[in-house]
Structure 1
Amino acid sequence: MTLRLYDTATRSVRDFVPREAGRVAIYLCGLTVQSEPHIGHLRSGVNYDVLRRWLLRAGNEVTFIRNITDIDDKVLAKSIEYGRPFWSIAYANELVLSAAYRSLNVLPPTYEPRATGHVPEMHELIKVLIDKGHAYVAQDGSGDVYFDVRSFAEYGALSGQKPDAMQAPDDGPVRAKRSPNDFALWKGEKAGEPVDASWPSPWGRGRPGWHIECSAMCWRYLGAEFDIHGGGLDLMFPHHENEVAQSRAAGLPFARYWVHHALLNLGEAKMSKSLGNVIDLDHVAALGIRPAELRYYLVEPHYRSRIDYADETLHEKAVAYRRIEGFVQRAVERVGVVPPGEPSAEFVAALDDDLNTSAAMAAVRELVREGNTALASGDDEGVRLALAGVRAMLDIVGLDPLDPAWGGGEQKADLRGVVDALVALALDQRAQARTRKDWAAADAVRDQLKHAGINVEDTPAGPRWTVDDAR
């Protein structure tokens, strides 16, 4: 495996070399859970799930951290708006998020820390920054602590921005800062905020700033230096820029590679909870799109390619996945369940080339075409080889229709004989009705099967049935 990744920090595609051979440590910035997730959020989980699966396929031991931001300005705003404890809002939305990830066959992280569980580590990191002269306590009595941007000469290098051209963060009064660009590490308790949303600290009661949360959790679970830090392009500034500054200023080498995925837009703007332009899982389900089809929609474009959402495009991708799934089902009917084999050379080359899932899925579709040709010609060995290869490649991107995560998988295939006998009985009754030209009875049998989740397709070789997994 010679994986090459586009590293945002160097703005180049370079060979991925883990810090320790055979072990890879990844930190993915998770969500701020002030509301339920939309499919733009889920793109992040799916894209980095593919990266993780590819690294695992190569025999690496992967430690994968994906955090939960359960305390910040947005969560507190929701708490005040709804008159509910901030933690109850955060936890309710975290449960919805976890269920959404499971529905899309995203592997669970090694650890999924919450920000509120790591306040002591944040205090420790802030103390180091103060001692090194990179942070200071505001002199206005607020209890705020700020990072001194001018003390870190490399500030702006990750995002390519010039400090003098940056917009000042709105996280504290300018009068309390040495420079308008300084950002909050700790926010003193404020009037009007929920009383349970603060912790004691050496600088008075308060709560952490957004950026220090991730630096502290990276440090806690992955140590001073780790391999890959991931997230959306919208996080590169200011969030990731500030993470780099405070971590390296504290003496931590931090991330060796920065991997950012492009956004999922609705119209001309990114899909955003704050803008109110979101497509959630309920909308997708109402369109008749299954979770596997949504995952295909999110996987198929290259992770650095922007997705412009449209219902029509989602339906087109769903149809494309159904064609692949249809081959797997027909192949299993012909030759039985064949375990995953080896991915094609084209597929491997595509994923090694900066996770080019677009080219990788093209390789899957090409092998499906070969498999369909083998099915048509009665070449059972060709069908077996194609099925094994297709399953191997789909497994790597989390889309194998026989994976139990999609509702039964191989266990479902093992029960095929029992179900087939029952369906065959109904189809025989339908055939008899058609022979005597009792079209109403024939249609009634077909409708009953459809109601039970069995789709019947009339083909030149006779009727073929499939299970409607969307039920």
Structure 2
Amino acid sequence: MKVFNTLTRQKEDFKPITPGQINMYVCGPTVYNYIHIGNARSVIAFDTIRRYFEYKGYKVNYVSNFTDVDDKMINEAREEHTTVPKLADKYIRAYLEDTEALNIEKATLHPRATHEISEIIAFVEDLIKKGYAYEVDGDVYYRAKKFPNYGELSDQNIEQLEEGASEHINDEEQNRKEDPIDFALWKAQKEEDEIAWDSPWGKGRPGWHIECSVMSTKYLGDTIDIHGGGQDLEFPHHENEIAQSEAKTGKKFVNYWLHNGFVTVGKKEEKMSKSLHNFVTVHDLIKTVDPQVLRFFMASVQYRRQINYSEENLAQAKTILDRFKNTLLNINYRLEEDTETKADPKLTEAIANTKVEFEKAMDDDFNVQNALAAIYDLLPIINANAALDNVDKDALSNFKEEFIKWLSIFGIDCEKLIKKEAGADDDKIDALVKERDEARKNKDWARSDEIRDQLKDLGVTIQDTPQGTRWTRE
């Protein structure tokens, strides 16, 4: 199995520290608003990766944090006339509701920055003792140049970093820092209404980067298998995590760095972000779009590739899901029939070959597009067999079992996918379908078409199969 390691910028053989177990940390949201689908991309990408590891038999310890204190949190709490903890609670609940709708597996642990303050302070104190950090007027900064590999993850040299940093800091902060590229580990309280904790350097709060170093090492160990997040976190967030963590522990922080691509919108394919005001929240979108369609749309693109969000692309995802749904319905229909089974060695071989091709694709840095292509190529063969007078029930049953496993990697709940919601007009629909079957039997095509139109007006789609007529609600 190979994964693309951002640190080395190449695919590497994946070997976990402990055989059969993976320790994985993924940066979670700053909980000051509902997550938009750009945020959801990372959640879905790494949930898909996690699910594939579990499919392969690994036990995955999956930790994803909540950043529940920073400048954005403080400013939004002021806007909403509430406290930072209450704001965090509100949006953590919303996050959990939205991700549950997207069928995201629950993390092994969701630690919160504000619950780890004593550990964060102890971590910073250790960095000061080792000469990697210094205090100025209640602020504590990390000496970036003291860490020899600073800039390696994001492939930047010190000169580039200094030039970029000098453009983004004001004179006051410049005067406090020893060097423009030094970054904050602890921030002194500036206003009385700012949330703050007592520390050896006075009242203040953690910097953004320190929390993930603390929580990752605390809950998963000094060296972990995988650290994930969006490409926008490579610098400065993940770069700073490496510097902090390795300076404190003296050990390699992460073996494999995985970063997902952005979600873009519009013909110009701009990155979706709150700062550009071009975002769509999951909270709003799933009110009108089937969460399974949104989930599949996001999961069906290889995690490192960019996704362009559009209604057309969502519609295409729905079309593919409908094909999956119809295939499952076809199989279920034939497996429930009281007919003899007829062995089909070619079908059995085709299913086995698809399993090999599916896993081969997924083992190549989670190439979901090629994995799905292997499934697409098999569907016509499956449906053709399901249309025969006598089918290979053993082969179809085997395919159904594998198919459900494959789709679950993409977060698709097959039971929910094919479930027909009961309605008050079911008896009326069944009667119309039966009447239409009689009309077709009698070659009364005019009446048959008339009934089809009646059913369409009721929001019902008719499917004529060799085994009979089936209907679903649109």
Shorter chain as denominator, the TM-score bin is 0.7 to 0.9
Match status 1:4 vs 2:10: no
Aligned to 1:380: 391
Scaled by the length of structure 1, what TM-score is found?
Answer: 0.87
How far 1:92 sits from its partner (Å)?
A: 1.3
Residue ranges of structure 1 left out of the alignment (5+ in a row) = none
Aligned to 1:97: 95
How far 1:385 sits from its partner (Å)?
A: 4.1
Match status 1:262 vs 2:261: yes
Aligned to 1:395: 408
Aligned to 1:280: 281
Alpha-carbon distance in structure 2 between the residues aligned to 1:366 and 1:389: 15
How far 1:378 sits from its partner (Å)?
A: 3.6
* SS of match in other structure, 1:173: helix
Alpha-carbon distance in structure 2 between the residues aligned to 1:22 and 1:175: 50
Alpha-carbon distance in structure 1 between the residues aligned to 2:308 and 2:457: 39
Does the C-alpha gap of structure 1 residues 322 and 441 become closer, same or farther in structure 2, counting only changes over 3 Å? closer
**Equivalent residues of 1:367, 1:386 under 8 A apart:** no
Does the C-alpha gap of structure 1 residues 423 and 94 become closer, same or farther in structure 2, counting only changes over 3 Å? same
Match status 1:246 vs 2:244: yes
Aligned to 2:324: 324
Alpha-carbon distance in structure 1 between the residues aligned to 2:391 and 2:273: 49
The count of corresponding residues between Structure 1 and Structure 2 is: 445
Aligned to 2:143: 148
Aligned to 1:134: 132
How far 1:264 sits from its partner (Å)?
A: 0.7
Alpha-carbon distance in structure 1 between the residues aligned to 2:359 and 2:188: 52
Deviations, residues 2-56 of structure 1 (Å, cap 9, x unaligned): x210001111101111111111100000011111011111111111112111211
Deviations, residues 323-377 of structure 1 (Å, cap 9, x unaligned): 112111222122149xxx9761000100100000010111111221211111233
Aligned to 1:13: 11
Alignment RMSD (CA, Å): 2.8
Aligned to 1:163: 158
How far 1:390 sits from its partner (Å)?
A: 2.1
How far 1:177 sits from its partner (Å)?
A: 0.5
Alpha-carbon distance in structure 2 between the residues aligned to 1:204 and 1:298: 45
Deviations, residues 183-224 of structure 1 (Å, cap 9, x unaligned): 0000000126x34x1111111110000000111111110111
Q: State the 4+ residue runs in structure 1 displaced beyond 6 angstroms.
A: 419-422, 432-441
Deviations, residues 137-196 of structure 1 (Å, cap 9, x unaligned): 01xx2x10000112111110111111221222549711111001110000000126x34x
Does the C-alpha gap of structure 1 residues 323 and 443 become closer, same or farther in structure 2, counting only changes over 3 Å? closer
Residue ranges of structure 2 left out of the alignment (5+ in a row) = 338-350
Does the C-alpha gap of structure 1 residues 380 and 161 become closer, same or farther in structure 2, counting only changes over 3 Å? same
Does the C-alpha gap of structure 1 residues 35 and 282 become closer, same or farther in structure 2, counting only changes over 3 Å? closer
Aligned to 1:78: 76
How far 1:461 sits from its partner (Å)?
A: 6.6
**Equivalent residues of 1:370, 1:386 under 8 A apart:** no
Deviations, residues 89-117 of structure 1 (Å, cap 9, x unaligned): 22211111111211111110000111111
**Equivalent residues of 1:184, 1:209 under 8 A apart:** yes
Aligned to 1:344: 355
How far 1:253 sits from its partner (Å)?
A: 2.5
Alpha-carbon distance in structure 1 between the residues aligned to 2:470 and 2:283: 31
* SS of match in other structure, 1:158: coil
Aligned to 1:358: 369
How far 1:433 sits from its partner (Å)?
A: 8.5
* SS of match in other structure, 2:275: coil
How far 1:467 sits from its partner (Å)?
A: 4.7
Scaled by the length of structure 2, what TM-score is found?
Answer: 0.86
Letter in 2 for 1:48: F
**Equivalent residues of 1:289, 1:318 under 8 A apart:** no
How far 1:430 sits from its partner (Å)?
A: 5.7
Match status 1:428 vs 2:410: no
Alpha-carbon distance in structure 2 between the residues aligned to 1:367 and 1:284: 32
Letter in 2 for 1:46: I
How far 1:446 sits from its partner (Å)?
A: 2.2
Alpha-carbon distance in structure 2 between the residues aligned to 1:431 and 1:281: 42
Aligned to 1:446: 455
Does the C-alpha gap of structure 1 residues 336 and 207 become closer, same or farther in structure 2, counting only changes over 3 Å? farther
Deviations, residues 223-242 of structure 1 (Å, cap 9, x unaligned): 11111000010000000000
**Equivalent residues of 1:145, 1:185 under 8 A apart:** yes
Alpha-carbon distance in structure 2 between the residues aligned to 1:123 and 1:16: 34
Aligned to 1:57: 55
Letter in 1 for 2:62: F
Letter in 2 for 1:128: D
Aligned to 1:228: 226
**Equivalent residues of 2:34, 2:282 under 8 A apart:** no
How far 1:431 sits from its partner (Å)?
A: 5.5
| From 91, 98, 115, the counterpart of 1:117 | 115
Alpha-carbon distance in structure 2 between the residues aligned to 1:6 and 1:443: 52
* SS of match in other structure, 2:202: coil
Aligned to 2:301: 301
How far 1:445 sits from its partner (Å)?
A: 6.0
Q: Among all aligned residue pairs of Structure 1 and Structure 2, give the percentage whose two residues are the same amino acid.
A: 35
Aligned to 1:289: 289
Alpha-carbon distance in structure 1 between the residues aligned to 2:69 and 2:105: 25
How far 1:283 sits from its partner (Å)?
A: 5.5
* SS of match in other structure, 1:464: strand
* SS of match in other structure, 1:19: coil
Letter in 2 for 1:5: V
Does the C-alpha gap of structure 1 residues 199 and 375 become closer, same or farther in structure 2, counting only changes over 3 Å? same
